[in-house]
Amino acid sequence: MSRYSSSGWPARLQQVLDCTDLQLTEGGLRLDGRPVPVEGEVIRFRRDDGYNDSFALQWKKYRQTQLDRFSQVAMTRERFLRETGWRPEELRGQTILEAGSGAGRFTAIMAEAGANLFSFDYSSAVDANVENNGAFANVAFLQCDIFDMPFRAGAFDRVFCHGVLQHTPDPAGAFRHLARVLKPGGRMSIDVYHRDGRIRPWKSKYLWRWLTTRMEPARLLAFLEWFIPKWLPFDTLIKRIPLARNYLGAVVPCWNFWYTDLSREQKVQWAILDTFDALSAKYDLPATLDEVRAWFGGAGFREAEVREGGNGVVGNGVKA
């Protein structure tokens, strides 16, 4: 409780109480009569990694890799601004839910902008987020299930969920649960992998996931930590070949950031991390543009914009 014992904790706790049906008793926090522990600076509505054990492993092992302040490259900030269309000055004082935080690469962006942020993850990957962003007094950290969130309907001004929906057993259902906790007039930004029927390098994972998802995650990660540094130079040559790269690169999985300003060591780490992410996740359920448009329409959103983005399909909308 080292950081939450500071003056920021009472305000964070009060904000959580305002947005949930939690009760603060002499014995601690309770919800519907059952105790809700606070461990490692996280309010835990669940306490195991479940089907996201591979994500807990990767984000704890590569906790700092994708955070801009450690990489010294603004890739996360640029992606956030480009794909949400949100301006940092709009976020100050807004009550925002971040669903599926991982190690907190996007948490840092919203916290720095002054949002009142609730950041949760299904797994103990949220502990890596606390390590990275626990010094922010304007962030409350939780571990919970997107299908069993403790928040009241309409509790949030904005909902942010990137890199998550495709890794749930029901992406459309997860979207509906997120829409429930967004207030009328509130803004949501999501993304999901794109099912478009085209051959692309990132789809190489589907040739191998039948095997890799059956491997013990730690063993798969160890293999990739050995293999990727050796394969990456060859993969970079392949990815530089116009037209043919879409086909040649769609055989051996390797998430390659050769086109960025990352250092050589960082490119290797990002490649290991993202390749493991692609091959190890239990669920990988992409969606079409029309399906995502139907999600927004079915939940009563207006001004919905659904388009291709850097991670697949990006959707932004205002709840009617």
Summarize pLDDT for 17-45 with one digit per residue, the tens: 999 999 998 888 999 989 999 998 899 99
Mean pLDDT to the nearest integer, 215-221: 98
Give me the torsion for CA of 173, 176, 177, 180, rounded to 10°. -170
* 112, 226: one domain: no
Residue at 2 is within a domain? no
Q: What is the pTM of this model?
A: 0.95
Residue at 21 is within a domain? yes
**pLDDT the model gives residue 246:** 87
Domain count, the chain: 2
* 187, 215: one domain: no
* 131, 98: one domain: yes
* 170, 72: one domain: yes
Summarize pLDDT for 147-204 with one digit per residue, the tens: 999 999 999 999 999 999 999 999 999 999 999 999 999 999 999 999 999 988 999 9
* 131, 71: one domain: yes
Residue at 67 is within a domain? yes
* 94, 213: one domain: no
Residue at 1 is within a domain? no
Mean pLDDT to the nearest integer, 229-251: 92
Residue 173 sits in which domain range? 8-194+286-319
Give whole-number Cα distances, 134 to 142, 250, 292, in Å.
12, 39, 33
Across the beta sheet with 28-31, the strand order is 23-25, 28-31, 34-35
At 23, which CATH number?
Answer: 3.40.50.150
Residue at 297 is within a domain? yes
